[in-house]
Amino acid sequence: MAAIATAVAAATSAFTSFNLTRATPYTRRHIRTFIASSSSPNEFNITFAPPKPKPKPEPEPANPINPNLDNTELSGQLYIPWIVRDEKGNLTLQSTPPARLLHDMANASTGKKKKKGKEIASKAATKVGPTAEPKHSKAARRFYNENFRDPPQRLAKVLAASGVASRRSSEELIFQGRVTVNGSVCKTPQTKVDPARDIIYVNGNRLPKKLPSKVYLALNKPKGYICSSGEKETKSVMALFDDFIKSWDKRHPGQPKPRLYTVGRLDVATTGLIIVTNDGEFAHQISHPSSNLSKEYIATIDGEVHKRHLIAICEGTVIDGVHCTPDNVELLPGQPDKPRPRLRIVVHEGRNHEVRELVKNAGLQLRALKRIRIGGFRLPADLALGKHVELNQAQLKALGWKS
Say which CATH topology domain 294-374 has: Alpha-Beta Plaits (3.30.70)
**pLDDT for res 320:** 84
Distance CA 57, CA 42 (A): 46
**pLDDT for res 21:** 43
**pLDDT for res 122:** 55
b/e 22-50 (16+ beta carbons within 10 angstroms → b): eeeeeeeeeeeeeeeeeeeeeeeeeeeee
**pLDDT for res 254:** 78
**pLDDT for res 38:** 47
- The reply to whether the predicted model has a pTM over 0.85 is no
Distance CA 361, CA 354 (A): 11
Distance CA 75, CA 178 (A): 100
**pLDDT for res 92:** 79
pLDDT of the chain, 403 residues: tens digit per residue: 555 555 555 555 544 444 444 444 444 444 444 444 444 455 556 666 677 676 666 655 544 444 554 555 445 555 667 777 777 778 877 777 777 777 777 777 665 555 555 555 555 545 444 445 556 787 777 776 666 566 788 888 888 877 777 778 888 899 999 999 998 999 988 899 888 888 999 988 888 888 888 899 999 999 999 887 655 556 889 889 989 988 988 888 878 888 888 988 899 999 999 999 988 888 888 887 778 889 999 999 999 999 999 999 999 999 888 898 999 999 999 888 888 999 999 998 778 889 999 999 999 999 999 999 999 999 999 999 999 999 999 999 998 887 6
Q: Which of 200, 202, 207 is nearest to 183 (CA)?
A: 200
CATH code, 216-288+385-391: 3.30.70.580
Name beta bridge partners: 185.
180
**pLDDT for res 162:** 77
Out of 70, 150, 249, 267, which one is annotated catalytic? 267
Q: Is 70 a catalytic residue?
A: no
> What are the boundaries of each domain within the chain?
153-206, 216-288+385-391, 294-374
From residue 140, give the alpha-carbon distance in Å to each of 144, 148, 152, 194, 205: 6, 11, 20, 20, 34
Q: Is residue 263 within 8 Å of 282, Cβ to Cβ?
A: yes
Q: Which of 105, 107, 101 is nearest to 82 (CA)?
A: 101
**pLDDT for res 110:** 60
**pLDDT for res 13:** 53
Distance CA 181, CA 185 (A): 6
Helix (H, G, I), strand (E, B) or coil at 315: helix
Q: In 64-166, which ranges are continuous DSSP H helix?
A: 99-107, 116-128, 138-147, 155-161
Same fold, 216-288+385-391 and 294-374: yes
**Could you name the CATH architecture of 153-206?**
Roll (3.10)
**pLDDT for res 378:** 94
**pLDDT for res 228:** 76
**pLDDT for res 195:** 83
